[in-house]
Structure 1
Amino acid sequence: MSAIIDMLAQRGRLESFLIGGEWVAPRGHLTREVVNPATEAALCHIVLGSTADVDLAVMAATAAFTGWSESAPAARAAMLARLEALMEARAEVLADCMSLEMGAARAYARSAQVPLAMAHVRTAREVLEGFTFQSPRGTTAIRHEPIGICALITPWNWPLYQITAKIAPALAAGCCVVLKPSELAPLSALLLAELIEEAGFPPGVFNLVQGDGPCVGAALAAHPGVDMISITGSTRAGIEVARAAAPTIKRVAQELGGKSPNVILPDADLVRAVAPGVAAAMRNLGQSCSAPTRMIVPRAALPEVEALAQEAATQIVIGDPFDAQATHGAIANRAQFDRIQTMIAAGIDEGARLVAGGPGRPDGLAAGLFVRPTIFSDVRTEMRIAQEEIFGPVLCLIPYDDVDEAVRIANDTVFGLGAHVQGSDLARAQTVACRIRAGQVHLNYPAWDPHAPFGGYKQSGNGREYGREGMLEYLEVKAILGFYPAP
Structure 2
Amino acid sequence: MRQHPHLYIDGRWTEPVEPHEVELVDPTREEPFARVALGGAADADRAVAAARDAFKTFSTTSPAERIAVIDRVIDVYESYADEFSELIAREVGIPVGNRAQVTGPAQHMRVARDIVREYPFESRIGNAIVRREPIGVCALISPWNWPIQTGVIKLVYALVAGCTMVAKPSLNSAASGVLLAKVLHEAEVPPGVFNLVNGRGREVGDTLSHHPGVDLISFTGSTAAGKQVGAAAAGTVKRVCLELGGKSATVVLPDADLERAARWNVQRCFFNAGQSCHAPSRMLVHESQVEQVVPFLVDEARRFRLGDPLDSSTTMGPVVSAAQFKSIKEHIQSGLDEGARLVTGGLERPDGLDRGYFVQPTVFTGVTPDMRIGREEIFGPVLAVLPYRDEDDALRIANDSPYGLGGFVFGGDRENARRVANGLRAGRISYNGAATDSYTPMGGYKESGIGRSMGRFGLEEYLEVKSVYGFEDEAQALPTLFG
Q: How does 1:118-267 map to 2 (within 5 A)?
A: 118-267=106-255
The 8 Å contact of residues 340 and 365 in structure 2, kept in 1 or not, is answered as yes
- 1:91 aligns with 81
Q: 2:305 aligns with which of 309, 317, 333?
A: 317
Structure 2 counterparts to residues 406-485 of structure 1, below 5 A = 406-485=394-473
Runs of at least 4 residues off by over 4 Å:
none
Partner SS state of residue 470, structure 1: helix
1:19 to 6, 9, 34: 9
* In 2: Cα distance, 1:122 partner to 1:41 partner: 37
Q: State the one-letter code of the partner of 2:14.
A: V
The amino acid of 1:176's aligned partner reads T
In structure 2, distance between residues paired with 1:84 and 1:268: 41
Q: In the alignment, what sits opposite 1:75?
A: 65
- State the 1:385 CA deviation: 0.4
CA contact (8 A) 2:130 2:467 kept: yes
Maintained 8 Å contact 1:253/1:463 = yes
**In the alignment, is the contact (CA less than 8 A) between 1:341 and 1:360 conserved in 2?**
no
Alignment of 1:93-108 (within 5 A): 93-108=83-98
Structure 1 residue 447 displacement after superposition: 2.0
Indicate if the aligned counterparts of 2:280 and 2:408 stay in contact, CA closer than 8 A.
yes
CA distance in 2, matches of 1:28, 1:125: 38
Identity of aligned residues (%): 47
1:401 deviates by 1.3
Deviation at 1:483, TM superposition (A): 2.4
Cα deviation, residue 126, structure 1:
1.3
Q: Which runs of 5+ in 2 are unaligned?
A: 477-483
Output the CA distance in 2 between the equivalents of 1:458 and 1:305: 31
Counterpart residue identity of residue 329, structure 1: G
CA distance in 2, matches of 1:432, 1:287: 26
User: What SS does structure 2 have at the residue aligned with 1:33?
Assistant: strand
**SS state at 2:195 partner:** strand
Q: 1:355 aligns with which of 336, 340, 343?
A: 343
Runs of 5+ unmatched residues, structure 1? none
- Contact kept, 8 Å, 2:16 with 2:43, in 1: the verdict is yes
CA displacement at 1:199 relative to structure 2: 1.5
How many pairs are equivalent? Answer: 475
Q: Which residue of 2 aligns with 1:116?
A: 104
Cα deviation, residue 112, structure 1: 1.2
Equivalent residue for 1:365, pick from 347, 353, 371: 353
Deviation at 1:85, TM superposition (A): 2.2
Other structure's SS at 1:399 match: strand
Instruction: Provide the C-alpha distance between the structure 1 equivalents of 2:469 and 2:312, rounded to a whole number of angstroms.
Output: 62
- Map 1:331-346; keep pairs closer than 5 Å: 331-346=319-334
Measure the CA separation in 1 of the matches of 2:37 and 2:73: 26
* Cα displacement string for residues 239-279 of structure 1 (whole angstroms, at most 9, x for unaligned residues): 11111111111011100000000111111011221101110
Range moving further from structure 2, 171-180 or 39-48: 39-48
Taking structure 2 as the reference length, the TM-score comes to 0.97
Distance 1:434 1:482 in 2: 43
Q: How much is the aligned-residue C-alpha RMSD, in angstroms? A: 1.1
TM-score (normalised: structure 1): 0.96
Q: Letter of the 1:138 partner, please give it.
A: G
* Deviation sequence 1:333-367 (CA, Å, 0-9, x none): 11111100000000000000001100131011011
- Inter-partner Cα distance in structure 1 for 2:436 and 2:77: 20
| Bigger mean CA offset, 137-146 vs 41-50 | 41-50
Whole-Å Cα distance in 2 between the matches of residues 416 and 120 of structure 1? 23
Deviations 1:79-137 (A, max 9, x none): 112212222221111100100100011111xx210111222211111111111100111
Determine if the alignment matches structure 1 residue 55 to structure 2 residue 55. Answer: no
Residue type of the alignment partner of 2:60: E
1-structure distance, mates of 2:77, 2:262: 35
Distance 1:322 1:57 in 2: 35
Q: Say which of 369, 372, 379 aligns to 1:384.
A: 372
Cα contact 2:5–2:21 (8 A) shared by 1: no
TM superposition shift of 1:425: 1.3
AA paired with 1:56?
R
In 2, distance between residues paired with 1:261 and 1:36?
A: 32
- Whether the aligned pair in 1 keeps the contact of 2:36 and 2:175 (CA below 8 Å) is no
